[in-house]
Amino acid sequence: MKAPLRAFAVPLSLALAAAACVAPPAPGGAAEPSVRVPAGAAGFGALPAGWPAAEVLLIGEQHDAAEHQRLAAQVVERLATQGRLVAVVLEMAERGRSTAPLHHGADEAQMRAALAWDERGWPWVAYGPIVAAAVRAGVPVLGANLARGTLREVMRDERLDTEVSDALRARLLADVRDGHCGLLPASQLPGMTRVQIARDRAMAGAVAAQAKPGGVVMLVAGANHVDKTRGVPEHLRAQAPGLRVHALGLTAGTPEDGVAAGFDEVWVTLALQRPDPCEGLAERFAPAR
């Protein structure tokens, strides 16, 4: 069984506060992506100078894979050095938060304050280098996630059910169910699915607002948010249909182990030794069932 990402391997109260990221999709159903195995910074030498040939670069990562955050920081440095990086948008910070007012010499405390960084959900040691690389280059970093205090209201907003097709909504609901190891009470599945839809829509809006001809807006988010068959790209097609979008999936192991379908390109990093996140989850959810 594929392991759900850590955002779902927690009690519901914490799951609402964390990102609504689900296990990466199984392969199949889309054109085979280009696959490469990056070897640190040296691996970037094989990329074309104009990579990506798009106004939007979506990087779908696995949150517990440290190499994925390191690669994302290296992409920031590469695009900034080329003078092409317009903005970095993060799932890991809330909408309305931005480093834009900061000087390029801002320190860690100033960057964290500007983004109202929540260490409970996202370790700064992992994502801070991405932020710092952008700030040092004079590139703004913007939050794109829903505010924590709005999540319960979002769960009750039935209008979100019509933001995607019935087929996609059913697929997202199944993702939420499977991501909770089948233990989430059935009554809560529609609400958690709305959170997923609302987050994808919010991230798409943040990206579209920053896009400029000749530049690249980069989004870092969980793998399913970036999947072209279900996540942010679905909403970008509606909000900014003229934008060229390049979806890069990062996977720990092999494409067959996780990310494959729904991406233009896949970068493979070393496999991780993970404990089964479903162990003990049944006991945690027992009172709520």
Tokens found for residue 256: 């067959």
For residue 233, what pLDDT is reported? 96
**CATH code 3.40.50.11550 for 6-94+106-288:** yes
> 281 falls in which pLDDT band (50, 70, 90)?
low
Tens digit of pLDDT for each residue in 130-164? 999 999 999 999 999 999 999 999 999 999 999 99
Q: Report whether pLDDT(76) > 80.
A: yes
Q: In the predicted model, what is the mean pLDDT of residues 192-206?
A: 97
Strands across the sheet containing 216-222: 34-36, 265-269, 245-252, 56-61, 216-222, 85-94, 141-145
Give burial (CB, 10 Å; 0-12/13-18/19+) of 84.
Answer: middle
Q: In the predicted model, what is the mean pLDDT of residues 81-90?
A: 98
> 282 falls in which pLDDT band (50, 70, 90)?
low
Q: Report whether pLDDT(187) > 60.
A: yes
> 287 falls in which pLDDT band (50, 70, 90)?
low
pTM: 0.85
For residue 16, what pLDDT is reported? 42
> 284 falls in which pLDDT band (50, 70, 90)?
low
* Cα–Cα distance, 142 to 93 (Å, whole number): 7
For residue 90, what pLDDT is reported? 98
Instruction: Parse the chain into domains and list their residue ranges.
Output: 6-94+106-288
